[in-house]
Amino acid sequence: MPTYSELVKPELLSQSVYKPGKPIEYVARELGLNPNTIVKLASNENPFGASPRAIEAGKTALDSVELYPDGGCYELKNALAQLLKMEPDQFIVGNGSNEVLELLGHAFVREGDEVVMGEGSFIVYKLVTMLFGGRPVEVPTINHRHDLKGIREAVTDRTRIVFLASPDNPSGSANTSSEIEELVEALPDDVLFVFDEAYSEYQDEPVDLRPLIAKGKKVFCTRTFSKIYGLAGLRVGYGYGDPELVSLLNHARAPFNVNSVALAASRAALEDHGFVSSCRIANAAGLRYFVECVESLNIEYISSSANFITLNVADGNAAFEAMQREGIIVRPLAPYGMSQWIRLSVGTEEQNELAIKALTSFLSR
């Protein structure tokens, strides 16, 4: 009798299963702590929750939950088109931007194709590539920033996609507009450049690749409602680019991939500019506080433009364990080949102080 492992596609076995941060309730049970006292700064979630308008809209949507959602995401795409001054047919909405990234794999990655990305970048690029039998080509970073010249040089005839996140996760480092535009201009016409903007709303001057899309460059951008909009639990993200590309990606998309509560909440969230800008301001203050503290603690950090900071604490797993015992959950970065490092999300002012207290006591152990 063959086992299931012998029956499945070999690409599947090459996949490691994504390890998310542990849920608060799980940690509380493990350590015998009260879940209400635990601070989770492990997944770059919004410490201020979501816009009250988004939550209200989501609740209202529950009243018609017996109906299938709008499979075309008509209203959300219109709202996005208005916001970004593009056309609705330039948008595709996914069950998180993760799903949009996976659609790109469905559409472009064949067995043996190469997909280029920076080393230690967001792990989903690698997972998507390998799921479809492609070969991830990882380009070493320079001082924890992606080397865009190196990425250009890594592109061959077999390259289908180049993935870049800026700011990236887990480093938090960003590339400049001119570096990115130069890379796009230098890429061959048959390579798709995918720009992941998961943290762009946290930047004062985010990179804007819409002019390159308008010019016909092979550029596709992805964004998410999981970070500054605080809707990670609802799973909504989107991508935008050329209408032809978007329409092709729709061939790979499941009919009702985004649920009705998520659609209603994300649309309302888009309209609450006040919430978004207050989160951006609080995040910037939190980052400044972290930088001040870690500089005085004399630990190495990566300069961040996102909603987290990545710290060299000599032993990431030990820091993770020690801080968790004090009720602070952070992300150890050994799975990213950075075993000395942890990633600490920016929380509320109070959470940030608790995190620094736990980190300080770990360092002085």
Ligand X SMILES: *Cc1c(COP(=O)(O)O)cnc(C)c1O
Binding site for ligand X (CB under 6 A): 44, 96-98, 122, 165, 169, 196, 198, 224, 226-227, 232, 237
Instruction: Give least dist CB 4 to ligand X, A.
Output: 27
Which residue has tokens 């500019």? 273
Whether 183 and 148 have beta carbons less than 8 Å apart is answered as: yes
Instruction: Write out the H or E segment, with its range, that includes residue 118.
Output: strand 114-118
d(CA 34, CA 124): 33
Residue 345: what are its φ and ψ, rounded to 5°? -75, 150
- Give 27-53 as a 3 state SS string: HHHHHCCCHHHCEECCCCCCCCCCCHH
Closest CA to 116 of 80, 158, 82: 158
Cβ nearer to ligand X, comparing 103 with 358: 103
Instruction: Write out the H or E segment, with its range, that includes residue 219.
Output: strand 219-224
- Show the tokens assigned to 211: 């002019």
Strands 192-196 and 219-224: parallel
Instruction: Give least dist CB 83 to ligand X, A.
Output: 17
Instruction: Give least dist CB 236 to ligand X, A.
Output: 7
Cβ nearer to ligand X, comparing 152 with 235: 235
Cβ nearer to ligand X, comparing 106 with 357: 106
Cβ nearer to ligand X, comparing 114 with 197: 197
Whether 230 and 51 have beta carbons less than 8 Å apart is answered as: yes
Cβ nearer to ligand X, comparing 315 with 335: 335
Instruction: Give least dist CB 97 to ligand X, A.
Output: 3
Residue 161: what are its φ and ψ, rounded to 5°? -135, 145
Instruction: Give least dist CB 302 to ligand X, A.
Output: 14
d(CA 76, CA 23): 30
Cβ nearer to ligand X, comparing 101 with 155: 101
Instruction: Give least dist CB 125 to ligand X, A.
Output: 9
d(CA 284, CA 291): 11
Cβ nearer to ligand X, comparing 194 with 322: 194
Instruction: Give least dist CB 198 to ligand X, A.
Output: 4
Length of the chain, in residues: 365
What Å distances lie between residue 59 and 45, 190, 203, CA to CA?
21, 44, 30
Instruction: Give least dist CB 44 to ligand X, A.
Output: 6
Cβ nearer to ligand X, comparing 224 with 283: 224
